[in-house]
A = this chain, B = another copy of it.
Amino acid sequence: MSQPADTWILAAQCPSRLGTVDVVTRFLKGQRCYITEQQSFDDRLSGHFFIRTEFRPEDEGFDAETFREAFSARAAEFAMTFELTAPGARMPVVIMVSKADHCLNDLLYRYRTGQLPIEIRAVVSNHPDLEPLAAWHDLPYHHLPITPETKAEQEARVWRVIEETGAELVILARYMQVLSSEMCRRLSGRAINIHHSLLPGFKGARPYHQAYDKGVKLVGATAHYINDDLDEGPIITQGVEPVSHADYPEDLVAKGRDIECLTLSRAVGLHVERRVFLHANRTVVFSR
């Protein structure tokens, strides 16, 4: 599972059609690239095809640009889109938070230890509280407060941070503001949110209190791509934890924290390793 130092990732998708695998594998063979791991899936309901390949060039002097160009021509015949990821690549990300720090703490830990191949370019928050945590990790912290009146302006500033840092992924690690439709569209497919319920179970505010009122025996969390429909974006991962009558709402909140951290970091890991494919409102996840 661990990606060796010389292994590239090719992730691609296209409409279903005879030869979709062959278009990738024959090309790789021709480039003298050895496939170390491959998963493909054809969704017969949507008529769409997904493939993820890890490969190792046999010869020295493998050139990504040459590869990309040559493969583009081939892929075009199948209307195939693709991404090529270099060995050891670390995806640039911006993390957005409010006051709760459990998800941020968890992400920072996995970042610090190299467990998550990301490069955190900035932490953005509508509150000042988590600045010391970011500072200890030598990370720029942008405190961008928000009010109903300044929402558009604040989002513009957030957007500037994303653009200037070159972030390819935005992680909403318990950012307690609803993004505008405009922002959602801009971040389509590259912003992951953690919702503290097993969506679509308890949408909206205070899901753990809703869960308590219903007397559920399990609580959970959902990591999903954001989209314009709040709490309804394509689901990447979900986690769950048993609870009991002895858990009051505040206990559900506390118990939920662990599962939120694990679920979010798992989703981020899957995304940056190019294991998640987004198509319409669903995801294909080639898990490890």
What is the interface of chain A, defined by CB distance below 8 A to chain B? Answer: 1-2, 4, 16, 18-22, 25-26, 28-29, 32, 34-45, 58, 101-102, 105-106, 109, 113, 115, 136, 198-202, 214-218, 220, 234-238, 240, 244-248, 250-251, 254, 257-258, 262, 281-285, 287-288
Contact residues in B for A244 (Cβ distance below 8 Å): 1, 285, 287-288
CB < 8 Å neighbour of A217 from B22, B102, B216, B237: B237
Contact A198 B201 (CB under 8 A): yes
A115 to B285, CA, bound (A): 25
A285 to B246, CA, bound (A): 9
Known contacts A37-B40, A215-B283; A251 and B102 CB within 8 A of each other = no
Contact residues in B for A106 (Cβ distance below 8 Å): 109
A160 to B209, CA, bound (A): 41
Give 5 A-B pairs besides A18-B32, A21-B25, A115-B257 with Cβ atoms closer than 8 angstroms. A20-B35, A25-B26, A38-B40, A106-B109, A218-B238
CB distance from A3 to the nearest CB of B (A): 10
Contact residues in B for A18 (Cβ distance below 8 Å): 29, 32, 34, 58
A281 to B216, CA, bound (A): 11
A10 to B284, CA, bound (A): 23
Contact A262 B258 (CB under 8 A): yes
Contact residues in B for A115 (Cβ distance below 8 Å): 254, 257
Residue of B nearest to A243 (CB): B1
A247 to B283, CA, bound (A): 12
Residue of A22, A248, A257, A282 most packed against chain B (CB within 10 A): A22
Known contacts A42-B34, A217-B235; A285 and B58 CB within 8 A of each other = no
Known contacts A28-B22, A115-B254, A240-B240; A37 and B246 CB within 8 A of each other = yes
Contact B2 A251 (CB under 8 A): yes
CB < 8 Å neighbour of A201 from B29, B40, B200, B254: B200
A112 to B48, CA, bound (A): 34
A247 to B42, CA, bound (A): 12
Contact B215 A282 (CB under 8 A): yes
CB distance from A54 to the nearest CB of B (A): 9
Contact A22 B32 (CB under 8 A): no
Contact B218 A198 (CB under 8 A): yes
Residue of A26, A202, A236, A245 most packed against chain B (CB within 10 A): A245
CB distance from A282 to the nearest CB of B (A): 4
A26 to B26, CA, bound (A): 7
Contact B200 A214 (CB under 8 A): yes
